Every structure is written in C-alpha cells, then in structure tokens.
Amino acid sequence: MSSPPLSPDELEVRLRAIGAERYHDKHPFHRLLHGGQLSLGQVQAWALNRYVYQAAIPRKDAALLARTEDRALRREWRGRIVDHDGDAHDEGGIERWLRLTDGLGLDRAYVVSQRGALPATRFAAEAYVRFVAERPTLEAVASSLTELFAPAIHAERIAGLLANYRFIDERLVAYFRRRLDQAPRDVTFALSYVREHARTPEQQAAALRALEFKTEVLWAQLDALHFAYVEPGLVPPGAFRPEC
Amino acid sequence: MSSPPLSPDELEVRLRAIGAERYHDKHPFHRLLHGGQLSLGQVQAWALNRYVYQAAIPRKDAALLARTEDRALRREWRGRIVDHDGDAHDEGGIERWLRLTDGLGLDRAYVVSQRGALPATRFAAEAYVRFVAERPTLEAVASSLTELFAPAIHAERIAGLLANYRFIDERLVAYFRRRLDQAPRDVTFALSYVREHARTPEQQAAALRALEFKTEVLWAQLDALHFAYVEPGLVPPGAFRPEC
C-alpha cells in the first residue's frame, strides 16, 4: 500500500509547490500594502501586528535549541537568535522592526506591550512557537522553510513601500534589506537538513505538512488584519484603532 | 500608589462588565446566524469550525486538573470533562455537537479530522488550552467565566436557529438546550472561586484580564468565520468551501 519515499529533489519540488500555492504573497492584504493602497493607519496596524510575530521568532528558535540533542543543529540555529535579538555589533531584527514602527509614528512602548495587537495575531504567533517546541525536530526545521519564498516578497515590499508611501524611507525598510541576506543563508541550511532527514514517506508527509502549517500561521495573520482594518473593517474590542 | 482591592461584589460587577462589552453575542456573525441570514453552507462552516473549539474544551479542563493541587477544585471541575466527553448515561456535549454537524449534512469524519477548519480557529482554541495549562489556577478558572454570559446567547440561538432555518430542527439544537442547564451550575462554582481567591489588586487585575483573554478567544473565531465566509468571503487555502 505505501508508496516509496520521494527523492530529495522530488521532496524539494513538493516543498516549493506549497509556497507557490499557499505563501502569503498571494494574500490580498499584501497586494494592497505593496501597491500603495493603504492609509498610514492601515500600515501602522500591519506593522504593530507583525511586531508580535517578529518578537516571537527568537523564542521559536530558542524552543528548537531547547529540544534537540543535535549539537551541530544547535550551533547553526542559534545564529537566528542573534540575527533577531542582536549583539554588540548589530542591533538585530527586532530593533530594526521597531525603527519601522517608530518611523510610522507609533509609540514604541505601546508596540512592545502588544496591547493593541489583534488577538488572532498573538494566537497565530504562539501556535508557531508551540509547534516548534512540541513537534519532532524535523518538522520544527521544515516549518522554517517559508524562508524559501521570503526574498521575493521582501524585494517586492521594499520597492513597493518606498515607491508608494511618502511616510516610508530607506531607514524604515532596513529590516527587509537585511533579511534579503539572512534568509537565503538560513534556508540553505534548513533545506539541506530536511532533504537529508526526511527519508520515509511518513517523515516526508510530516515535513510537507509542517510547511503548510507555517503558511497557515502567516496567512491567518493577514486574514485578521484584512478583516479588522480593510474589509469589512471591524476592529475587535480593545485592539488598535488608527487615527488616520 | 496602589489602590485597595475590590470587594467580591465590586469584582463581580467588573467581571460582568467585560461580558457586556466584549462577549461574542455582539459580533455581527452571531447576529447573522441567529437572524436566519446565513446559507446552509455558512452555517456548516460555523458548525465545523466551532467543533474545533468544542473538541478542545475537555483538554482545557483536563489541563486545569493536571496543574492544581486543590482536590476540591479537581473534584468539582472534572464534571466538566464528563459533560463534554460523556459517560454510560449521557453521550456528552461533543457527541451532541456532532449530531448538529451530521444534521447539517457534513461528513462526520471530515468534521472530526478538523481538516476543513480555519487555521485561525485552531490557533484560538489551542491558545485557550495553553492559557489554562500555563497561567495560575485563579486565571485558569476566571477564563471560564464567559459562561456567565452564555445562557442568554444559547436561548437566543435556539430560538433563532429553529425559527429561521428549515434545515434545523429540535434534534440539532440539543447541545444548546443541555448547556442551558450545565453552564449556570458550572459558573456558580467558578464565580465563587474567583470571588474568594482574587483578593489582592494584582490577582483581581489578573482575573479580569483572564476573562478578557477568553472573550478574545471567542471573538477571534467569529472574525475568522466572518472574513472567510461572509465578508469579504476569502476562504484560506485548504479550508472548507461550502457547496451551497
């Protein structure tokens, strides 16, 4: 009954197909964002919600370190925590994200408190942290493979934001510029890891499902933003209400 | 600087005020549902998504049992697991919910698999389970207090569903009829517990915040349903698509 396992190349094709179908570059919210069709208030809502996700990423990566006995994997993976939290030489991705929210006129303490974020954003970000903490290491690594698809959206975002919004300048897109370098390096390792460790049909199905799960985490955040701030535009009780 | 604690009665007033402001009976999706303005497909989408939440509830209650040393609390609380999972004398709330989804023409295996549910629904339901597993017992108990507000919405739902949808009859609303009896009994205990154990201003603030959190869990599920199946009606990749 059971099919033979895919070759590593076949597995990679299937992984990439998930991006082609389900990555959040297809979400209408991103088309509006990159096309200059949002108000400052809507861009603020996006940035302060996305902060919740950014802030969860180093915890997600630490959860992977915390559950694997594979020292080589830990050595490689811990660089991601540095990328986001920074060190003596680099402020880190979260600080770069806060320079974006600063530049959009949002109060930094309010952004960091996450008080104005949509509950759905928090639920999705935590679901990702839990997934990585609880699922087998292979699935935890596979769930990071949305980075395969990130450079294209980041390049499009940088160009779109700079071209279309008078309130966005080069300083504000520093986060995305840096990710253009970081994400390909990270994903090269993660993809090799998955190609090597997903050997049985069951492991391969689990790796594919893990990547699908991650696309759901990203997509659900945009659904919530779109619902609250675009159409029908119903902000849940207690969440950020744009003034502009 | 710190204010004195509220009296138990004052605390109860504040808890009830959260319901008046934030309980999901105010969500437009419920107005459409109860007012007969949804198609069969939209009601199916609601029922199969809400199944995910129903199915998480006994795990949530078990998480509370699993983390408290208070035997009296465990003895009382375990009845909730029986209510949902059933016993020799009663099929239980989850089975009653599945009779609703059966009656709406949904395949039971599909519903139980949760494959068609919105990711946002799963994230919200799991956030609730995690909250109860990880937060102090007082907050775990306080998060159940949305049951203070449930009888009114259940009564309204029973009447609205029966009056407005030809495909809904008495058998399908059995879940809600039973909850009219169960919820007040449960909430009497939980409210007494919170009144008694939330003594300091910090504990009281935490209890109030726990109830707010729970209203967010419920509200976010309706936001996701409304977004996918009402307006703008963008079903995420892989989720249930109504045929009717």
Chain B residues within 8 A of A212 when measuring between CB atoms: 238
B44-90, pLDDT tens digit by residue? 999 999 999 999 999 999 999 999 989 899 999 999 999 999 999 99
**Residues of B within an 8 Å Cβ radius of A:** 21-22, 28, 118-120, 122-124, 126-127, 130, 212-213, 215-217, 219-220, 223-224, 226-228, 231-232, 234, 236-238
Q: Is B123 exposed, middle or buried (0-12, 13-18, 19+ CB in 10 A)?
A: buried
Lookup: tokens for A216: 């759901």
H-assigned helices in chain A: 8-22, 28-34, 40-67, 71-85, 93-103, 108-113, 119-134, 137-142, 150-164, 174-197, 201-229
Chain B's closest residue to A214, CA to CA, is B119
Lookup: tokens for A36: 């200059």
pLDDT confidence bin for A112, thresholds 50/70/90:
very high
d(CA B23, CA B34): 15
**B99 lies in a domain?**
yes
* Residue from A209, A53, A48, A27 nearest A123 by CA: A53
Lookup: tokens for A68: 């694997």
Does the beta-carbon distance from B224 to A227 stay under 8 Å? yes
* Residue from B225, B220, B154, B221 nearest B183 by CA: B154
**A213 lies in a domain?**
yes
d(CA B144, CA B61): 10
This prediction's pTM: 0.90
Structural domain including A203 reads: 8-229
Residue at token pair 């409210």 = B191
Lookup: tokens for A69: 């006995």
CA of B234: how far to CAs of B52, B226, B241, in Å? 20, 9, 10
Lookup: tokens for A235: 């902000």
Q: How many angstroms separate the CA of residue A124 from the nearest CA in chain B?
A: 6
pLDDT of residue B66: 92
pLDDT confidence bin for A228, thresholds 50/70/90:
very high
pLDDT confidence bin for A3, thresholds 50/70/90:
confident
Q: How many pairs of residues across A and B have Cβ atoms under 8 Å apart? A: 95
**B243 lies in a domain?**
no
Residue at token pair 């069709």 = A37
Looking at residue B236, the DSSP 8-state letter turns out to be P
Count of the separate structural domains present in chain B: 1
pLDDT of residue A209: 98
CA atoms within 13 A on the CB side of A154: 18
Distance from the first to the final alpha carbon of chain B: 59
Among A28, A120, A130, beta carbon nearest to B120? A120
Mean pLDDT of all residues belonging to chain B: 96
**A239 lies in a domain?**
no
CA dihedral A122, B221, B211, B130 (to 10 degrees): -50
pLDDT of residue B1: 53
CA angle A28, A20, B126 (to 5 degrees): 70
**A17 lies in a domain?**
yes
Q: With the C-alpha atoms ordered B72, B75, B76, B78, is the resulting torsion angle positive or negative?
A: positive
Q: What is the CATH number of the domain that holds B207?
A: 1.20.910.10
| Range from A2-6, B71-75, B200-204 carrying the lowest mean pLDDT | A2-6
d(CA B219, CA B179): 19
Mean pLDDT of the region A170-187: 93
**B240 lies in a domain?**
no
**B139 lies in a domain?**
yes
**pLDDT higher than threshold 70 for residue A1:** no
**A67 lies in a domain?**
yes
**Residues of A within an 8 Å Cβ radius of B:** 21-22, 28, 118-120, 122-124, 126-127, 130, 212-213, 215-217, 219-220, 223-224, 226-228, 231-232, 234, 236-238
Chain A residues within 8 A of B130 when measuring between CB atoms: 126, 130
Lookup: tokens for A170: 């080069």
Chain B's closest residue to A227, CA to CA, is B227
Mean pLDDT of all residues belonging to chain A: 96
Lookup: tokens for B107: 């395949």
As a whole-number percent, the residues of chain A with pLDDT over 70 amount to 99
Does the beta-carbon distance from B223 to A123 stay under 8 Å? no
d(CA B174, CA B180): 10
